[in-house]
Structure 1
């Protein structure tokens, strides 16, 4: 659920001074029990040292379990980009990129590329790697990379299982993963909930000298922000969330636990909605502007998917390298393209090539056949995943540690095939893709437990209004989730953007002005809803 945002260019924004602050109702108070948990922890001393050429890094020891602050500890890593104008510094802006499992240090170090000059002058920007992730104490569920590779091979062989044999292999591998993380990595696996990360944030807020928290959370990072806001509502200075997770769906209920978490969040439905709209627009503009266009473009996509489901496309390179392009790969690649505002361009180029490679006689009108060798090379190259570098790659374990801890899940991993099939009927193509991503979280599989995970309520009144940003065509966290969260949080503000891709930040000046202006002046009067339009609108008429 990572936002594909940082590849977009952002001009420096010159934000005008805000008008006088508006009065806000009194905030709800942090509960005495929660205050005791965090306030009894001594304020850590942060010893910053130069790292990554332009940044400063530090590590601290925090309680592994806040109910036992004198017990075992966990190392947490921070990275800071110092404010350019320390004489006018407003405080620290904590940032989180989502995932879960993505490094907040990696986001913070890129602050000069995506934050406005005003924010960079007035704030230290700090990324705290969550427990189990990145530079913090990592979750490691296997003895070494070789054991890990053997155990997880079915999960890495295909984006999601389609055949009965693949489903059995996935279920077995998921049980191995859950069992290993609940035993070998048991202590950290039982302390990786978003609740613990929010408590860490509050202690570190105190460590950097801030009375209240300033926070920017993207994708899953929006859930971290919401947990903080509801645990510590009177300690919020500014909290902007984008690509918004529905917190009630994320944690689930005993009634909804049998539905995989991303299915109940509506991620599959949002993906299908975005794809169907793109196929409709492609058909409307025709083959002159969209090479995949047909008299029924949705049906053309359906035929391509059916062919790949029946028989994968065998790709043979000049050197004899063989790779199968499968139905599961088509759906996963399509979903990934939907996360990028401009991803539709490559999506339709890919679909056209795949249609011609699988059914050469079906070329769209007024198009010429591709250079087959070049096309094969391109698809083969895409199968080479981004290298993880030497050593132990714990990304899947880190994602699992958070998702499995936070929410309620089905009792038995054996229930996943039926649940995934039902999800696919409700949301064609993407239901199974999203559903299978959490099979390792079945209660009989992931048995590590965090005894005091926060699971609501999510409607507490904060000391400053929360800024909620939702994208109409977000394929991962639906726009409806943003609307729901804005209604849940009293006095919050909604930025409703008609943009494409996962998350709205950097997709238009309207959105970025609203978000960055709010972070500087969270109490300035503002409308309850601001409506924006993304700069990229697929197949929109040319202007000028």
Structure 2
């Protein structure tokens, strides 16, 4: 969820995200038909909408959803259906701005539908359109049989009313660009360059996005989600959240406990963990995952590292490689500069899923044998949504930044920042002593220079008083959303049961472990939860 930090040239690159936006007023007694053609019953407006809802907001809750063929640009099959609905830009002052648009996608159930199962893939900034339209196979046959899979691009994201900052060329320069005099910069000059670069980026985001930039916070998205529940004709919300999508779900449980149906939070984030602590936790876990990868790699004859000194020896070899590219700044075949930043992002990307460790090994082998950075860039680009032509398929990085800067309190206390940087330097695998010293009193540069400041002063736990049973799921060695976060969320929520899959990688459900998948599927289809917290082991 937050960027890695490292050597001087990595700081020049900016923060890289872990781990990628016609209302119809109906009378109160009219029947709002749920998803057409599913054979489900209809619910009255009284069953779908709270009686005390502000009349100005009611029209958004009562708008029709007109499903039709998905736009060609979505690149999904004929079996999918799409729609667009409206939401107020500012839920607290709906008349202040023109409404925004939210893009939806639906895959109708193969069998008799129990209704809509909404989901969010995480990020923040991940596209729900892509999630369901291009990755629906991650949902089990049982879920696809019993539910209409529905998702949406949250406000600020993708095909909805979206955050817009730079074009492809500008994004490339922001994420991968290195100034010509980078090798000669002092650490202090590098910091000044990064501050200037971040300031210009934020200004471009505000100019090209407009007032929406102030309203892409997660609490606004939670209110959007409750509206979507109603317009889809669902008196209760069935929801499957992954990674940051669990933050949306947990906040929904807390704010709308009486509207909770069956909700699963896989790869849960702890809403009480601030930005600095989140980075420390993630860097600790990514370091552990990298060590696990290197241990696995060194057990193979194909491993490109000299097996001298074990895992620590391999780490030293990678550090030497990073130092060399930062000193030499070689160019890749496409003209981009190879830096420690690119190598670091490739490592981070591979740690999200154990199945991609082999690709990382190939990347190190190519570089060792031929000084070929193709696989390093491929892994980094895959995370950031960049294709081989330099086109960014989504605005994930921009939305990620905008949402995070609104959701987290901004820490400016110098002593706190110094302690944070000291601890960060301790837990990171790859270090630069000179840059660490120059950054000692530098906090979150991106959010410090962001043109819209967070209004959040305190991070609060979620409780969900009175909500029916929900599931919180974790992978024991998840580097992006730690097990400790999931345990904290399960403890905070009054009605949560915790499922832990003992394994590597981010998110448990897509590992396909029968123990994990069967328990989650059974819960969604029947409402049955495990009798107690459940631990699932690899087969």
The interval holding the TM-score normalised by the smaller chain is 0.7 to 0.9
User: What is the CA distance between 1:408 and its match in structure 2?
Assistant: 0.8
In structure 2, the partner of 1:364 is: none
Cα separation, 2, equivalents of 1:440 and 1:380: 23
Label 1:247 to 1:199 Cα distance change in 2 as closer, same or farther (>3 A): same
| Among candidates 68, 75, 78, match of residue 93 of structure 2 | 68
Cα separation, 1, equivalents of 2:290 and 2:531: 32
In structure 1, the partner of 2:241 is: 217
In structure 2, the partner of 1:80 is: 106
User: What is the CA distance between 1:84 and its match in structure 2?
Assistant: 2.2
Please tell me whether residue 531 in structure 1 is matched to residue 535 in structure 2: yes
Cα separation, 1, equivalents of 2:353 and 2:392: 30
| Among candidates 94, 97, 104, match of residue 121 of structure 2 | 97
SS of the residue corresponding to residue 94 of structure 1 reads strand
Q: Any unmatched runs of 5+ in structure 1?
A: 5-29, 253-258, 358-371, 536-544
In structure 1, the partner of 2:262 is: 238
Cα separation, 1, equivalents of 2:176 and 2:347: 18
User: What is the CA distance between 1:351 and its match in structure 2?
Assistant: 4.0
Partner deviation per Cα, 1:59-94 (whole Å, 9 max, x = no partner) = 111111111234421111111111223xx3211000
In structure 1, the partner of 2:323 is: 310
How many residues are treated as equivalent by the alignment? 471
Partner deviation per Cα, 1:480-505 (whole Å, 9 max, x = no partner) = 11111111111211111112111111
In structure 2, the partner of 1:542 is: none
Cα separation, 2, equivalents of 1:117 and 1:382: 30
1:261–1:438 contact (8 Å) kept in structure 2: no
SS of the residue corresponding to residue 148 of structure 2 reads strand
Q: Any unmatched runs of 5+ in structure 2?
A: 2-16, 20-48, 71-75
The worse-fitting range, judged by mean Cα deviation, of 193-202 and 457-466 is 457-466
In structure 2, the partner of 1:401 is: 402
**Structure 1 length as normaliser, TM-score?**
0.75
Partner deviation per Cα, 1:397-455 (whole Å, 9 max, x = no partner) = 21111111111123499x9899556412233339999x99953112xx22425758994
Label 1:188 to 1:530 Cα distance change in 2 as closer, same or farther (>3 A): same
After superposition, where does 1:129-148 map in structure 2 within 5 Å? 129-141=153-165, 148=170
1:230–1:459 contact (8 Å) kept in structure 2: yes
Please tell me whether residue 300 in structure 1 is matched to residue 313 in structure 2: yes
In structure 2, the partner of 1:362 is: none
Cα separation, 1, equivalents of 2:389 and 2:51: 44
SS of the residue corresponding to residue 272 of structure 2 reads helix
In structure 1, the partner of 2:470 is: 466
1:316–1:322 contact (8 Å) kept in structure 2: no
| Among candidates 55, 71, 80, match of residue 80 of structure 2 | 55
In structure 1, the partner of 2:24 is: none
User: What is the CA distance between 1:323 and its match in structure 2?
Assistant: 6.2
After superposition, where does 1:235-314 map in structure 2 within 5 Å? 235-249=259-273, 252=274, 260=276, 262-263=278-279, 266-282=281-297, 285=299, 288=301, 292=305, 294-312=307-325
Label 1:162 to 1:278 Cα distance change in 2 as closer, same or farther (>3 A): farther
User: What is the CA distance between 1:145 and its match in structure 2?
Assistant: 5.7
Label 1:69 to 1:343 Cα distance change in 2 as closer, same or farther (>3 A): same
User: What is the CA distance between 1:108 and its match in structure 2?
Assistant: 1.6
After superposition, where does 1:468-507 map in structure 2 within 5 Å? 468-507=472-511
Label 1:113 to 1:42 Cα distance change in 2 as closer, same or farther (>3 A): closer
User: What is the CA distance between 1:526 and its match in structure 2?
Assistant: 1.5
After superposition, where does 1:199-210 map in structure 2 within 5 Å? 199-210=223-234
Cα separation, 1, equivalents of 2:53 and 2:446: 30
After superposition, where does 1:419-438 map in structure 2 within 5 Å? 420=421, 422-429=423-430
Cα separation, 2, equivalents of 1:225 and 1:503: 15
Partner deviation per Cα, 1:375-402 (whole Å, 9 max, x = no partner) = 5665576677425876996332211111
The worse-fitting range, judged by mean Cα deviation, of 76-85 and 197-206 is 76-85
Partner deviation per Cα, 1:86-116 (whole Å, 9 max, x = no partner) = xx32110001111111110111224641222
